[in-house]
Amino acid sequence: MTEITRVPLQPIGKGSLTKLWLGIAASVALAGGLAWAAMPPLGAVKTVKAGEGPSPTVADVVLINYTGHLPSGKVFDKGESAVFPLDGVVPGFVQALAQMQKGGSYKVRIPAALGYGDKGAGEVPPNADLTFEIDLLDFKSRAEIEQQQRMMEQLRALQGAGGGHGGAMPGGAVPEGAVPEAPPQP
């Protein structure tokens, strides 16, 4: 039979308990400071994954994935492949996107003054600082988008009219899956 050696506990010395609590408080403060430092400062953009090329301007339309968080961490807005004209969003969002590049991922903190201000909006309470995670997928100027829209309208008009070739495309080609009509008999 083995015997366990007993070690008596030493009494805590005077002032040791205070030192223990101060050490715990210092550790908690340090951990909180490190967590705070990991966040970008208000109004700043933290690059999670760098993108390439130029940055969008207020005259551009962006294609993004994003998630917006309230100070509590609650998600108040989320979008995938969302299209935004930059002149229609809060100023902090425009300023942040102007620091981003296509293909990049970013974390942004927008102060209330550059967000929804003292009025709030929807789930966003007044004077709320916001945090966004943003992937900038692409952006184009309004002129490029308008040109693409005109081209699409012209293509639809050609397809809708059938080009006078019984459903054939310009040049006499027949769209895949279409059955060409017989030419009129004299």
Write out the two tokens for 137.
């997928």
Cα–Cα dist 113/1, whole Å = 74
Q: What is the pTM of this model?
A: 0.59
HEC secondary structure over 30-79: HHHHHHHHHCCCCCCEEEEECCECCCCCCCEEEEEEEEEECCCCCEEEEE
The half-sphere exposure of 40 on its side-chain side, counting CA atoms within 13 A, is 19
**Domain contains 117:** yes
CATH code of the domain in which 49 resides:
3.10.50.40
**Domain contains 184:** no
pLDDT tens for the 186 residues of the chain, in order:
566 677 666 666 666 767 766 777 777 666 655 554 554 555 678 989 999 999 998 888 899 999 999 999 999 999 999 888 887 788 888 889 889 999 999 999 999 989 988 888 889 999 999 999 999 999 988 888 888 889 989 988 888 776 544 444 444 454 555 444 544 444
Question: Which pLDDT value is given to residue 87?
Answer: 77
The half-sphere exposure of 151 on its side-chain side, counting CA atoms within 13 A, is 6
**Domain contains 78:** yes
Domain of residue 49, residue span: 45-143
Cα–Cα dist 162/175, whole Å = 11
Length of the chain: 186
Question: Which pLDDT value is given to residue 12?
Answer: 65
How many separate domains does the chain show?
1
Question: Which pLDDT value is given to residue 131?
Answer: 93
Strand partners, 66: 79, 134
Cα–Cα dist 141/27, whole Å = 50
**Domain contains 180:** no
